[in-house]
Chain A
C-alpha cells in the first residue's frame, strides 16, 4: 500500500511540474447497460422487484512520461439479468500505478497478466460475462537483453464485488515466467528461416489450511513456438502438483494440461490443427470455490466461436472443467478472383470441425486409501465417451459492389448428460443448422442486411427458425428487427416467438443502443458491434464511450 501511495504522489508531482516536457495523456472508456425488465416465465426471463437494473463501469488511465496510473469505478444497482449476484453496489474495482521503462515494467495494485498460452496463468476480464480475476499485488517485468523477457508477480485475486468493495481470494498466487526468442538472442540465428521461441512458467498458490491438504500447490509449464516458412508449430505442457479441492472432490491426483498447434499458411489458404488435453488441471485462487470465479489458469473450449444466434446460443460447448481431450481443424480458403468459381471478387470458404471426448482413468497401481490418488491420467489418452462434436462450413461471396451473400451449415452432437444445458432432453442432442445472409448497399451511406436461420433437432425444444433485418445509415444510425420462432416445440403452447427491435446512434466514439423485446442468451451482433447478452424480456439501453 505504501508503494501505491508513493507512486500516486510521484505521478501527481510529475504531472504538475513536468507537463510540457513529458508526454502526457488521459484515456479511458465508459459503458452503461440499463434494463427495465418484465417477468416472462415462458421464456425464463426474470424480473427483480427493482424492475430497473444497471451495470456501469468507467476506466480512467493517465500517462505521464513513463508513469501510468489507472482506476475503474464500477456500479451495479443491482446488476443486470444473468450477472453474478455478488456484484452489487458502487465502488472502485480496479486501480494501479505503473512504471513502464524500456527494459523494466513495475506495476502495483491491480493488474492482468498471461503466461504463455494461459495454461499456467491468465488473469483477464470479460465485463459482459461478469468475469474478472485480476490480481491485487505487485508485478515486475524485466528485459535483461533483447529477446529475453522475465516476469514475476505476487497477488491475491479478485473474487466478489460486494456492496462496492472487492473481496479477494484466500490464496496468494506467486508466479515466474521466462520467455526467450532464440533468433533475437543469438545473433548467428537472426537471419535463420527457422524462428524459435521458448518459455517456462512456475505458478504457485499458498492457502492456509487447518486440514491435511497441502498449503502450497504448484504448476510447472514449458512451451515452444516455431515458424519455418509457411509452417507454424506451438506446444505447451503444464504439470500441477496434487491440489485437493472442492472441484476435484479433494483427491490427491496430480494434473496436466497440454496444447499443440500446427499450422500451414500461404496467400489465400490457412490451415490450423489444434489439440488440447487436460485432466484435473483447473487451478484457482481458492480451493473451496466453484464456478466461473477465481480461475488462475485458462482452459478454453476447443471449438469455433459461433456468432449466428441459433448456432451460438442453444447448444454452446464449454470445456469440461474436470478434463477432456479435444481436437480441432480449421481450413480458410479463398477461391481466386476472376476464376470460374471465384467470380469477379473471389469466393471465401471456411471449414471447421472439432471433437471433444472424455479421458481415460487408469486405476491399476493406485491405492486410494493410502495416498488419495483416485486414478492415473495421461495426456491425449482419450476414451470413446463423446462430449461434443461440431462440424461447420461457411461460404461467402461478393457478387458486385452492391451485393454480398453468405451461406452456413452446422452439425452439432452435444452431450447434455455431461454438460447439461436443458432439462428437456437426455443424452446426445443432434442438431443441424442452416443460415443464409445477404447484404445490399444502397448508395454510399445506406445498406440493408437480412438473415434467415433454421435449427432442426428431434430432441429438447425441437425446431427453431429465425430472421433478422437490419438497416444502417453510415456513420450514425442503425435499425434492426429480429424474431426467433420455436415452431417445433413438442408442446404447442410453448411454440413461442422472440421478437426484438432495436436502434442505435453512433457519434464517433460514443454509441447508444435501445432495444425492446425478448432476447435469448448468447453473443449478439447488431449494428456492427458484438457482445454477449443474457436472456431477458423488456427494454434495454446501452451506452459506450471512449475518451
Chain B
C-alpha cells in the first residue's frame, strides 16, 4: 500500500512539474477538465467541450442555498446584457445543489430571470475536478478556453474586477484579429 502511494505521489509530481513548465502564467492557463454533466434540459454535456466562438466565458459555481452566490449572479445580471453586447461573453452557472435541492434549480433560475447557461453538478464531480473548496468560486476563460482568472467568495464590488477582466480579454482578442 505504501509503495503504491509513493508511486502515486511520484507520478503526480512528474506530471505536475512538467505541466507547470509548459505554462508561462503561473498555474493559471489550464483548460476545462472533462466531466460529464447535465444541463437544465436533461441533456448530457462534457465540460471540456465548453466554447464561445473565441469570446470570453465566465464559469461560476453556485448553489440555491448559497446567498453570496445568488448575490453574485444577480449583481452580474444587472449589467450582463450590456457586457454581453460589448464583449460577447457567456456565463455558465454550475449548480452544486445535491438531490435535496436539485429540483429547485430550474424554478430559482426562471424566477430570477437569469440569462445564463446552467449546469447541474449534483455529485460535485466538476467542483472536485476544478479544485473548488466552497461556493461561490468564479473562473474566467479566454477565447482559447484557457482559465485566466479565478476568485473565491463574493462581496459587492467583486463584479467590477470581473467585468474589467472580461473587457480586457475582449480588447486583446479584437487587437489579435486586427
Contacts and interface: CB of A to CB of B under 8 A. Distances in A.
Contacts of B129: 27, 61
B84 interface: no
A71 B8 contact: yes
Main secondary structure of the interface of A (DSSP, over half): strand
Given A506-B152, A544-B152, A334 B68 contact: no
Contacts of B33: 25, 27, 61, 63, 68
B66 A112 contact: no
Contacts of B65: 305, 307, 523, 530
Interface of B is mostly: mixed
Contacts of A95: 4-5, 8
A48 B160 CA distance: 45
A272 interface: yes
A441 B156 contact: yes
B12 A60 contact: yes
B22 A20 contact: yes
A446 B160 CA distance: 12
Contacts of A547: 27, 131
Contacts of B109: 270
A270 B106 contact: yes
A511 B152 contact: yes
A122 to B, nearest CB: 7
A39 interface: no
Contacts, number: 260
A70 B129 CA distance: 9
Contacts of A23: 31
Interface in B74-99: 98-99
Given A270-B106, A506-B153, A509-B152, A26 B19 contact: yes
A232 B105 CA distance: 12
A544 B136 CA distance: 13
A507 B31 CA distance: 21
A397 B35 CA distance: 37
Interface stretch (B50-58, B118-126, B168-176): B118-126
Contact of A19 (B18, B42, B133): B18
B106 A348 contact: no
A69 B7 CA distance: 12
A397 B9 CA distance: 51
B158 to A, nearest CB: 5
B12 A27 contact: no
Interface in B1-43: 4-5, 7-12, 14-16, 18-20, 22-23, 27, 30-31, 33-34, 36, 41-43
Interface stretch (A211-219, A260-268, A424-432, A514-522): A260-268
Nearest to A128: B134
B19 A268 contact: no
Contact of A5 (B7, B20, B157, B161): B7
A243 interface: no
A181 B42 contact: yes
A305 B153 contact: no
A247 interface: no
Contacts of B71: 528
A508 B150 contact: yes
Contacts of A510: 152
Interface string A136-169: 0000010000000100000000000000000000
A134 to B, nearest CB: 11
A462 B28 CA distance: 52
Nearest to A406: B67
B107 A117 contact: no
A216 to B, nearest CB: 26
A527 interface: yes
A528 B72 CA distance: 9
B156 A439 contact: yes
5 contacts: A29-B131, A71-B8, A184-B43, A270-B109, A475-B151
